[in-house]
Amino acid sequence: MNRIANSGLVILAGLATAVLAYFGTGLHALWPLLWLAPIPVLTIAPRLGAGGAFLLASTAWFTGELNLWTYFTRVLQIPLLLVLVFLLIPAAIFGLGVIFARSFLRRQSPVAAALAFPVFWVTWEYLSAITSLHGTFGNVAYSQMKFLPAIQIASITGIWGVTFIPFLFASTVAVLLSGTGKSSMRVSLVFAVGVVLCAALLFGEWRLRSHSAAPTVKVTLIAKDVPLSVYLGSEEKSLQLLREYAEEIGRVTPARTQVVVLPEKIARVNPDALPQVDALFSSVATATGAAVDVGLVRRDSSGGFNSSRLYSPDGRTVTTYDKHHLLPGVEPERPGTKRVTVEQPGGRWGLQICKDMDFPQLSRQYAGDGANLLLVPAWDFNVDGELHARMAVLRAVENGSALARCARNGLLTLADSHGRIIAEKPSALGRFVSLAGDLPVPAGNTFYSRAGDWFAWLCVAAFGVLFITAVLPNRARPFSASRQASSRS
């Protein structure tokens, strides 16, 4: 009967983690669920062998990741084998993290057990981000974007602290539920972790409530979704769409607008047509008195560049930025290598494009350049519009910059340096959508933009110390013996 009851608890723990992960991560995450998702499998893991704990945890996380199945297979049309690889690797990493924490739970080391899982996971996400072609895409921290007090810690630790905090909470609860260690040690652990969590959230509340005088930049975003056949069609169709955009800028741009941002890759333009495009948008920039940021592909025989071209309000200057981080297998253009900033009365503006914002280092370098407003043409896949916009918003929080992101097949988003959405609208097929707002542009940058990924490296170092500890001989009473002794008493 005990064996049946234990099997039932194991199955229930796996199902609970799977359901919480399914709804707590992905494209439309419910942020509180991530704080709870690891708890069931972490709590039950000490009762299982290492293989059983790994199988339970990895299966539960894989099941939770199925919230991305349709996105990967139908929207991105990734081959099935690659999709399985994309899902199985994080599931296996999750399983390894659980058995890593399990080793300290069984050693009756509550502090090490509470730290093991969050430092393991941050180490994995950091090393993955600095080596992956997709940057931080898939990082669980983005599930917390609607919990504004929690994400303010990114201004100190970067994205890595936003991941660490909920997983520290989850692993601490698992320590308490599993009865690991002496009661006095558990009380001390609760106090210490409580202080850390309260400090992080109180800092977030303070940062959200702190008001400092900041100039505002009046921004207008304009987008129109068109079939892919228009983008891939003749140059005449491309030029016609660009003319429509120019007319729309003249029609809807409010007075005193300082910059208009259009989406990424509106059209593909050959070198002989580029002067015509430049004349068109220089003219409309002069007519409106606003700078105009246009996303287009400057095409040549080698594939060209995915560019953001900024036309000055007087129509005399054209500044070009070429996208650094191209989508593998989709974008044949050549990557750019230079950052571009422009001085304006409202501050210093930095130019990036869509996927560039998945990579914290580039935005941090822009902060080092003094950029306090990022202009970001983008092109999303509709269903991932909210997630991809929020990924860009977190870069603004990390570095204390404002964000103007204009996506076709996505969201038009204005966000401040605290992650608050000033204004937002979805783009629409076959018609123009515009959004205007006054965007506060702060001066200065954050601790993270100056110190970099110090917290991630701290987690890497902590993982190294814990790993060495885990492979040393265990002199503490084993978990099962401790549980039996406590039950006899």
How far is residue 109's CA from residue 401's CA, in Å, rounded to a whole number? 42
Bridge partner list, 306: 297
- Compute how many other C-beta atoms are within 10 angstroms of the C-beta atom of residue 323: 26
Q: Roughly how many angstroms between the first and final C-alpha of the chain, as a whole number? A: 23
The tens digit of pLDDT for each residue in 289-306 reads: 999 999 999 998 778 999
Pairing verdict, β 421-426 and 411-415: antiparallel
**Closest by alpha carbon to 399, among 444, 439, 345?**
444
Decide: helix, strand or coil at residue 296. Answer: strand
Q: How far apart are CA 354 and CA 52, in angstroms?
A: 42
Distance CA 360, CA 398 (A): 8
Segment holding 221, helix H or strand E: strand 216-224
State percent of the chain over pLDDT 90.
89
Environment class of 232 (CB within 10 Å of its CB; exposed 0-12, middle 13-18, buried 19+): exposed
pLDDT at 472: 81
pTM of the model: 0.94
* For the chain, percent of residues with pLDDT exceeding 70: 96
Largest CA distance in the chain: 87
CA-nearest of 354, 335, 374, 337 to 264 is: 354
For 39-43, 71-75, 116-120, 328-332, which range has the lowest pLDDT when averaged over its residues? 328-332
Q: What is the mean pLDDT of residues 437-445?
A: 91
Q: What is the pLDDT of residues 121-162, one digit of tens each?
A: 999 999 999 999 999 999 999 999 999 999 999 999 999 999
Q: Which pLDDT band holds residue 4 (cuts at 50, 70, 90)? A: low
When mean pLDDT is compared across 42-46, 143-147, 181-185, 379-383, the lowest value belongs to 181-185
What is the torsion angle, in degrees rounded to the nearest 10, for the CA atoms of residue 448, residue 450, residue 452 and residue 454? -80
- How many other CB atoms are there within 10 angstroms of residue 211's CB atom? 7
pLDDT digits (tens, 9 = 90+) for 306-345: 999 999 999 999 999 999 999 998 999 999 999 999 998 8
Residue range 79-86: average pLDDT?
Answer: 96
Instruction: Please provide the DSSP assignment of 325-348 as one string.
Output: S--TTT--SBPP----EEEETTEE
Q: Is the pLDDT of residue 12 over 60?
A: yes
Mean pLDDT computed over 406-419:
98
Residue of 423, 418, 417, 420 lying closest to 435 (CA atoms): 423
